[in-house]
C-alpha cells in the first residue's frame, strides 16, 4: 500500500529534521550566539562612552580656557597693584575686593575642573574594563568557534547523508501523496499519525466510525478531522 512507503519515508525525514534541530540547539552554538551578542553590546557601550568622553573633553577645555583667562586677569590686577599702589584706604579696599572676587571665581572653576577630571577618569576606567572584558570574550569566542566549526562540519556531513537517504526514499512515494505530505508538514509535524484503537495517535481524538471504515477500505487517503494528519492504519 502506498501509505507504507510514505510512512517509511517519514521515518528518515523526521530523523533528518530532528538531527538538524539538534544541530541548531547545539550547546556550543548557543554559547557562541550569546558571546557574539555580548560583544555587540560591549561595542555599543564603548561607542556611547567614547561620545560621552569627547563631550566631556570639550567642556573640560572650555572651563580650562575660562580658568586661564581669570588667572591672567588676576596677574594683571596684581601688576597694576604693584605699579599703582592704592593712595587711600578706599582704593585699597576696592582693589582687595576685585582681587577677592577673581580668586573666588577661580577657585570655583578649579573645583569644577577637578570634578570633571574625576568624572573623566571614571569613564576612562570603565572604558578600560569594557575593553578587557570584551577582549577576554573575543578570545573565548575565537577558541569556541574553532571547535564549533569542526563540530559543524562533521554534523553537516552527517545531515547531508540523512538528506540523501530521505531523497532516495522519497522517490518510492507517489508524487501527489508526497506533495500532500509536505503541505501538511508546513503546519503539523510529523504529518502522519498511526491509527490506534480507533484514535488518531497524533492528537488522540477518537475518530467517527465512518472515517474508520474509510481508512480500512484503503480507497483514499484520510486526514484526521482534528489535526489534519494523514491517518495510517498499520494493522496493529
Closer CB to Zn ion, residue 70 or residue 195? 195
* Residue 37: exposure state from Cβ atoms within 10 A (0-12, 13-18, ≥19): exposed
Q: How far is the CB of 231 from Zn ion (least distance, A)?
A: 8
Q: How far is the CB of 155 from Zn ion (least distance, A)?
A: 33
Helices 89-170 and 27-83 pack at an angle, to 10 degrees, of 170
Residues that bind Zn ion (CB under 5 A): 200, 202-203, 224, 226-227
Q: Which parts of 25-88 fold into alpha helices (H)?
A: 27-83
Closer CB to Zn ion, residue 70 or residue 222? 222
Q: How far is the CB of 192 from Zn ion (least distance, A)?
A: 10
Pick from 153, 148, 150, 130: nearest CA to 31: 148
DSSP state of 220: S
Q: How far is the CB of 235 from Zn ion (least distance, A)?
A: 19
Count Cβ neighbours within 10 Å for each residue of 152-164 and write b for 16 or more, e otherwise.
Answer: eeebeeebeebbe
Amino acid at each position: 500500500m502506498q501509505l507504507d512507503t510514505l510512512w517509511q519515508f517519514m521515518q528518515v525525514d523526521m530523523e533528518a529534521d530532528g538531527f538538524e534541530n539538534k544541530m541548531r540547539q547545539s550547546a556550543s552554538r548557543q554559547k557562541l550566539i550569546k558571546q557574539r551578542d555580548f560583544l555587540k553590546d560591549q561595542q555599543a557601550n564603548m561607542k556611547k562612552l567614547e561620545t560621552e568622553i569627547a563631550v566631556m573633553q570639550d567642556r573640560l577645555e572650555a572651563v580650562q580656557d575660562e580658568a586661564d583667562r581669570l588667572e591672567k586677569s588676576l596677574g594683571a590686577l596684581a601688576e597694576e597693584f604693584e605699579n599703582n599702589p592704592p593712595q587711600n584706604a578706599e582704593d585699597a579696599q576696592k582693589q582687595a575686593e576685585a582681587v577677592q572676587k577673581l580668586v573666588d571665581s577661580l577657585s570655583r572653576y578649579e573645583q569644577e575642573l577637578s570634578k570633571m577630571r574625576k568624572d573623566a577618569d571614571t569613564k576612562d576606567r570603565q572604558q578600560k574594563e569594557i575593553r578587557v572584558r570584551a577582549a577576554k570574550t573575543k578570545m573565548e569566542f575565537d577558541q569556541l568557534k574553532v571547535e564549533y566549526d569542526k563540530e559543524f562540519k562533521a554534523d553537516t556531513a552527517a545531515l547531508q547523508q540523512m538528506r540523501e537517504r530521505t531523497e532516495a526514499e522519497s522517490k518510492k512515494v507517489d508524487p501527489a501523496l508526497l506533495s500532500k505530505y509536505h503541505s501538511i508538514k508546513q503546519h503539523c509535524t510529523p504529518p502522519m499519525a498511526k491509527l490506534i484503537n480507533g484514535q488518531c495517535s497524533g492528537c488522540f481524538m477518537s475518530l467517527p466510525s465512518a472515517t474508520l471504515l474509510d481508512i480500512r477500505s484503503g480507497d483514499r487517503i484520510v486526514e484526521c478531522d482534528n489535526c489534519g494528519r494523514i491517518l495510517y492504519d498499520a494493522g496493529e
